Amino acid sequence: MDTISIGPLVLDAGRLFAFLAFAALVFAARLSERRYGPEMGPWAWKTGLWALAGARLVYVLLHLGSFTQDPLSILYLWQGGFSPWGALAAALMVTFLSFRSERRQLATATALLGGAALLLLALGSIPLGPRLEGRTLPDIRLEMVGGERDGERVALSRWSGKPLLVNLWATWCPPCRREMPLLAELAERSEEVVFLMVDQGEGREEIARFLVERDLTFPNVLRDPGRLLAESFEVSGLPTTLLFDERGRLVHARMGEVSRAWLEEHIARLVRDE
C-alpha cells in the first residue's frame, strides 16, 4: 500500500508527494521573482489550485455515472480520485494564459512546472515497503457475526474461487462508518464479487449492536479479535480495502475511505479479469 506512517499518523503517499512537489514549485517560483518578475510567485499558487481542480474535474467526468448517483461526493476530496492528466492540462493552460505575452517568463514557468513534475515522478518511484500485490489470502479461521452462522468459526478459504472484496474496519473508526452504507449497498447487489466485512479487535456484541443501530446488513460479517488479517497484510490504518482475484491473490490494497467511483471501477476490473 502506498502509505507513509509517521508515529500514529498514516498518510497517503500519493497526496503527500503531490504536496511536496507543489511546495517545491512555489519555493522555486519565489526564488525566481527577483530575476523574472513578481508575477512568478502568484502564478505558482494559481497553477497549483487550478491543477487540483483540473485533476478532480477530469476524474469526475471519467466516472460520471458514479458521481451522478451522489453529486455531493464530487466535493469529498479526502476520498481521493484525481487525474494526473487533468492536473497537467490545467497547469499548462494556466501557465500559457498567465505569460502568453512574456516569452521569457513563459519559458521559465514551463521549466519550473516540468521540474515539479519530474520531482513528483521521482518521489512516486520510491519503494515504500514490501510489495503486497500477489500475496494470497491467509488460511485462518474467523468468527461469523449475525445470520444463521452467528458465532461459527469459518476458514477464509471457503470463499476461494470467486473475486473477494475484504474490508478491514472497526466501529470506533469515523471513515469506516462513513463508507459502510455504500459498501452495504454494493454488497447487496453484487453477484460476481463476495464482500467480507472483517472487524478488527472488537467483541461480537459490540459489532452486532453497531450494525443494528446503523441499520446495516451485510452477507458476511466476521470478527478478527487478534487482528490476524491486518497483521498478514501489514495494515497500519483503518479502513483498509483488499481486493483478491478468484485465485485468492491480492491485486489491490487501499487504505482510507473509498468512494463509489473507486469501488465501482475496481469491482468492474475484478470481474473483467476473472
Asked if the bond preceding 71 is cis, omega within 30° of 0, the reply is no
Residue 226 predicted with pLDDT over 60: yes
Give strand pairing partners of 11: 4
Residue 1 predicted with pLDDT over 90: no
- Local confidence band at 274 (pLDDT 50, 70, 90 cut-offs): low
Task: Round to whole Å and give the CA distance between 224 and 199.
Answer: 6
Find the mean pLDDT for residues 39-51.
97
Query: Which pLDDT value is given to residue 35?
Result: 94
Task: Round to whole Å and give the CA distance between 46 and 243.
Answer: 38
Report pLDDT digits (tens) over 111-160.
999 999 999 999 988 877 667 777 888 889 999 998 778 889 999 989 98
Q: Which domains does the chain have, with CATH numbers?
A: 8-124 (no CATH), 141-272 (3.40.30.10)
Residue 62 predicted with pLDDT over 70: yes
Report pLDDT digits (tens) over 230-248.
999 988 889 999 999 999 8
Nearest in space to 29 (alpha carbons), one of 21, 39, 19, 20: 39
User: Helix crossing, 260-272 with 174-189: angle to 10°?
Assistant: 40
**How is residue 157 written as a grid cell?**
478459504
Query: Which pLDDT value is given to residue 59?
Result: 97
